[in-house]
Chains A and B, each alone.
Chain A
Amino acid sequence: MSRYDSTAIRTRLDWRSRSWLDLALPALFLALLVFAAISSDTFLTQNNIVNLLRQTVINGLISLGMLVVILSGGIDLSVGAVVALSAVLVGVLAESMPIPMAVAVALAAAAGVGVINGFIVARFRIQPFIVTLGSLSAVRGMVFVISETPVVYSDPGFLGIGSAMLGPIPLITVLMLLAYLLMSFFLNRTTPGRAIIGIGGNEEAVRLAGINVRLNTTLAYTICAGLAGLAGVILASRVGIAQPSVGIGWELDAIAACVIGGAILGGGGGSVRGTFAGVLILALISNLLNMFNVQSYYQQVFKGVLIVLAVLARRKER
């Protein structure tokens, strides 16, 4: 029986099922950039660019975590509440302990929410939507119990994280990029990363391949909540104040970024690269619309249309 010769195997190794959107996303991004640069004198100012880079960080980190959970076949609605939890917790704890320790405890608390989410989803096989809807409410309530009023930060070292620059780039943007690189490595090159993606594709096949599904599912939710917690800490440091009501509805922005970037709810698709593009496009659009003084309500309309268009464009030809 004739076989494919080995050169054919090698040249075809990088074959991927690309949809035209994989090219369309960067193209859309570039078009937006060019449009912004031409139509606005303020867009290309250093001030605005730095501002834009800062603005992507929060949603960037939340979306990155959301991607992991979506890849595992789940969803996490509690991330907005977790952002508020860590943002408020750092300030409250800082009254009784040094700031670094307060940050560590706040991050651990955030990750803890993820452990609980993941454990319940994996152990009791309850729909992730329901589980995290519950924890969304519970965590949000807890934030208000911890502090009913906004927490104000004054520690110059802590505030410094949010405003520090590495050359022309904000430190927190560098942190976010680092997180994206690490995540790309984690998902592509580590055993738990491959396991999480496999679980989203076919949980039973992964279990029968001898992989611990519960542990890896729990890990996915823990990573997600941990990154949301990190976003909360950075937010507090950048803004200098933490409202207990901060982050309401942010889970939807994160889901939007993932979906625009090609993630498939329920598992089976999604990439770090695509999510990054999704985050940038969302940030660029709100930045642009802000510059033209477009009401935020229209921004919501625009975002909604974009999400549906992105999914439409990825619809498989049958």
Chain B
Amino acid sequence: MTDRVVMRGVSKRFGAALALRDVDFSARPGEIHGLMGENGAGKSTLMRVLAGAIDSDGGDMEIDGIPYRPRSPHDARSSGIRAVHQEFSLVPHLSVAENLLLGELPTHVRGVVDWPAAHREADSSLKALGFEGIDTHMRVDQLGVSQRQMVEITKAMRADPRVVILDEPSAVLSNAELERLFAVLRSFRDEGGVVVYVSHRLDEVLTICDRVTVLKDGELVGTVSAAEVDEPELIRMMVGRPLSEIYPRRARPVTEQLLLVEGLTGAGFQGVDLRLGTGEIVGIFGLVGAGRTELARAIFGATPSEGRMTIAGAPFKPRSPADALKAGVAMLSEERARDGLVLPAGILDNITLASLGRLSRLGILSRQGQVQAANEQVENLDIRPAQLRRPVRMLSGGNQQKVVFGKWLVHGARVQILDEPTRGVDVATKVQIYQIIAALADEGRAVLLISSDLPEIIGMSDRILVMRLGRIVGEVPASAATEERLLAIASGVEGLAA
């Protein structure tokens, strides 16, 4: 059988950086092909070349044996290649139906849109893929991210493509939604379609894919059959070394009480009590909507709350993030692009953003101090490329997250809240971040770790608080924590007094 997609010797250079070097890639009809690699390994670049979004500097491509050289995404579409990207390509102010049928809205005579027909058609397209519960009259900007993702996938599938490229589709989907998506992909495959599934989630790729191609630093590491490979082997291919220890080993700390929260109530949570000691990592686990982020934002003074808090015995009532930072409480936000980074600004400006006061005298910044602080973090966190003025918009997700960490490390608060600190970063970066978190605690800081990643929260925390419907419903020491037990408490199956 001829390969559907063949890419041979593809290279791509961005300025001085070689993003792809002589990469071969091929996919057969009726195959779900995983594409893996760390952030910055070149996965997205390779797929952008295939989808016609960028031109390669070298190499050639074939689709079903016919030479293929797209000049634009439009060319790629004409050849039956559709990409669903991380950045959504929907028009936010238009309805779901209009987005799905953009450019092909059904009309009465003389170009008058037949709206009832449009909504019927859009609705049946969604239902055909099993995406229920999306009202086609809704504006796309009123949908949640996962629903938008489904609309996007539906839009791609409507075009009856030969190849569908999915770039990190699972990042925003719940487990049930992911199952639905997998079913859609499998039936597309069984009809002879090709899916290229770009992801760094190992379990997922091994579940859904038939073969996996791994890239590292812009080069091909290899293509393997998913049936003949396991997670440790994939990690070894991606990282270039075995990951013997993911979670750093720490001694159970002897702590002094630092942060005390009593009866804290605000939007999304009620009557929360918690204590946090020096040198301690306390995890907060809960399902989506349990109120974890809301609680964290309130402790950080970003949203108002009622109740009593003290830090090292002194009353603590933050009315703004500025108040909280003054008292020594810092928070790393869950959404780095929205809350954590000034994307057009450079690494230097972002890393020093929360410490401008300390790095200046009488309001005048010490350039030397700034550069020194930023350089320390760039080295300490291995931020790449190490160019202090490069806009953080141009960094990979993992490096962006390291920049946010750098910002709070320079600031150096006594209490560090971390909200989903490893979301959307690859395995190798995760390991680095775990070491940073452990080092924070070892220095005697208190860490409040919010995470949906069960192995992470169990591996990192000294004890784990479980939230459900805005309340803390359980506390489990790390030694007694299992994924099943935390999930049971979080979903209300198991009641457990704190």
Contact = CB atoms under 8 A, between A and B. Distances in A.
Interface of A: 1, 3-4, 6, 8-9, 12-17, 188-192, 194-195, 197-198, 201-202, 204-212, 264, 267-269, 318
Nearest to A5: B386
Interface in B355-414: 356-357, 360, 363-365, 367, 371, 375, 378-379, 382, 384-391, 394, 407
Contacts of A191: 356-357, 360, 363, 365
Contact of A15 (B325, B367, B390): B390
A210 B363 contact: no
A198 B365 CA distance: 15
Contacts of B338: 202, 204-205
Nearest to B357: A191
A194 B349 contact: yes
Given A205-B340, A207-B321, 10 more contacts: A6-B379, A13-B371, A191-B360, A194-B356, A198-B349, A208-B300, A210-B321, A211-B322, A211-B353, A318-B53
A87 B324 CA distance: 45
Contacts of A3: 379, 382
26 contacts: A1-B382, A1-B428, A14-B389, A17-B389, A189-B365, A190-B364, A191-B356, A191-B360, A191-B363, A194-B365, A197-B342, A198-B349, A202-B342, A205-B340, A205-B353, A206-B342, A207-B302, A207-B320, A208-B300, A208-B333, A210-B322, A210-B326, A211-B356, A264-B344, A267-B344, A318-B54
Interface string B213-255: 0000000000000000000000000000000000000000000
Q: How large is the interface on B (under 10, 10 to 19, 20 to 34, 35 or more residues)?
A: 35 or more
A110 to B, nearest CB: 23
Contacts of B302: 207-208
Nearest to B352: A194
B396 to A, nearest CB: 15
B156 to A, nearest CB: 20
A17 B338 CA distance: 22
A258 to B, nearest CB: 16
A313 B158 CA distance: 37
A201 B356 CA distance: 16
A12 B322 contact: no
B354 A209 contact: yes
A194 B389 CA distance: 14
Contacts of A206: 342, 353
A1 B380 CA distance: 12
Interface in B51-69: 53-54
A197 B349 contact: yes
